[in-house]
Structure 1
């Protein structure tokens, strides 16, 4: 996924899952890492990072 797709996906995920979106992204990273799909795990790590940016400073 390119950067625009990553941020678009993060916004949609946050819109549908709210504060639980970060946990959902982390679960997807874990799932794809376990199955050995490095590319999808990396994409979900980037989505996870974009979600952290969307949430802003002061939240963990």
Structure 2
């Protein structure tokens, strides 16, 4: 996936799952790792990163 596709997918995931989107992405990474889907794992890790950037820094 290119950068635009990653951002689009992250936004759709966030819109669908809200604050649980990051957990959904992490679960997908685990499932893909178990299946040996290395290319898809890389894409989903990039989606995780995009979600973390969208969320911004934690404020206490």
TM-score range, shorter chain: over 0.9
Count of aligned residue pairs for this structure pair: 59
User: Deviations for 1:13-50, whole angstroms, at most 9, x for unmatched residues?
Assistant: 00010000000000000000110000001100000000
- Normalised to the residue count of structure 2, the TM-score between the two structures is 0.95
User: Which residue number in structure 1 is paired with residue 25 of structure 2?
Assistant: 25
Q: 1:58 is paired with a residue of what secondary structure?
A: coil
Query: Which residue is 2:8 aligned to?
Result: 8
Q: Which 4+ runs in 1 deviate beyond 6 A?
A: none
- Measure, in 2, the Cα distance between the counterparts of 1:13 and 1:25: 8
Tell me how large the CA RMSD over aligned residues is. 0.9
Structure 1 segments unaligned to the other structure (5+ residues): none
Gaps of 5+ in 2: none
